[in-house]
Amino acid sequence: MLAVGAALAASGCASTKQVEAARETNERIYDPLEPVNRQMFRVHTVLDTVVLEPLAKGYRAVTPKQARTSVRNFLNNAASPAVFINNVLQGDIEGAGVTLARFGINTTFGILGLFDPAAEEGLELRWEDFGQTLAVWGVDNGPFLYVPVLGPTTTRDMVGRGVDSFASPYRFVEFDNEDSWRTGQAILNGIDQRAALIEPLDELERTALDLYAAQRSFYYSLRDDQTANGEQDFEDLPEFD
């Protein structure tokens, strides 16, 4: 909270020109809170440099690749109920069937989801979340947000995250140390996701002139691609002239 307050105060010092430029948005990106977001980005960059990236690199250094794949499989499998609900909410009955079959196969033959035999049978993971469901329903991204630790997101996707957390299987099963388990899973998920982004983020850092804007653009593109399930409408691309 302190960091947010400090950033808000600092953003008040941004030059008028910078604020005006920030308010001008392009067709794809809506970032009315850009001065604040840029401060949040700076806070995040410090946290990332000091904590998140070293953790991700350490995780990669001490675990064999197969172990990391199993961790990812396990986390994906645990998210299956949320993916299933979103399949249904998007009216994708075929996708819901695939998610259900994957959950059944991977929880049993895949030993609690540590392995992904379903993918070998052609039932590949197609990630869906409530942010994407809202997009399918026609809800716009809303203002772009940069949240320290979480990174770039949009208002719609933040709402989506909150809703998805209610569909976690641990909400429906009671067991000892439930909170510790849930926290541990969230931390592991964060480290795993950051580890997967080591190369792309390094590449952005190497090539970008404005790293904040480059990450923002990267986020919008990835999310658009996820929502379209890789089936882009090429007519929506911006014209060159």
Partner 1 sequence: MMRSFRRSLSLALLGVAASAGAAWADLTGAQEFVERESDYALQVLSDDALALADKQERFRDFVDRVADVDRISRFVLGKYRNAGTPEEIAEFKVLFREYAIGIYEEQLGRYNGEGASLKTAVPRGKDEYIVTTIVDGGALEEPVEVNWRVSERGGEYRVLDVEAFGIWLAIQQKDDFEAFIGQNGRSISALNDELRRRLSENRGGAAQMSVANGDMPKAGSGSHNN
Stretch of 44-52, 149-157, 171-179, 223-231 lying at the interface with partner 1 (CB under 8 A): 223-231
* Binding of residue 30 to partner 1 (CB under 8 A): no
Residue 239 interacts with partner 1 (CB under 8 A): yes or no: yes
Does position 61 interact with partner 1 (CB under 8 A)? The reply is: no
Amino acid type, 164? D
189: which 2 tokens? 């998920």
Return the range that interacts with partner 1 (CB under 8 A); candidates 1-9, 45-53, 184-192, 228-236.
228-236
Burial 192-220 (b: 16+ CB within 10 A, else e): bebbebeeebeeeeeeeeeebebbbbbbb
Among 13, 17, 61, 175, indicate the residue that binds partner 1 (CB under 8 A): 17
Q: Does 88 bind partner 1 (CB under 8 A)?
A: no
The H-or-E segment that residue 147 falls in is strand 144-147
29 touches partner 1 by CB under 8 A: yes
Beta carbon of residue 18, minimum distance to partner 1 (angstroms, whole number): 6
Rounded to a whole number of angstroms, the distance between the first and last alpha carbons of the chain is 45
Stretch that binds partner 1, among 71-79, 89-97, 182-190, 233-241 (CB under 8 A): 233-241
Q: How many CB atoms lie within 10 A of CB 30?
A: 17
Q: Which residues contact 235 (CB under 8 A, 6 or more apart)?
A: none
For partner 1, which is the closer residue by CB, 172 or 234? 234
CA dist., res. 172 & res. 200, Å (int): 36
Single-letter residue type at 18: Q
Backbone angles phi, psi at 177, to 5 degrees: 55, 35
Contact call for residue 18 and partner 1 (CB under 8 A):
yes
Site string for partner 1, 202-221 (x = CB under 8 A): -----xxxx-xxx-xxx--x
Q: Which residues bind partner 1 (CB under 8 A)?
A: 17-18, 21-22, 24, 26, 28-29, 207-210, 212-214, 216-218, 221-222, 224-226, 230, 232, 234-235, 237-241
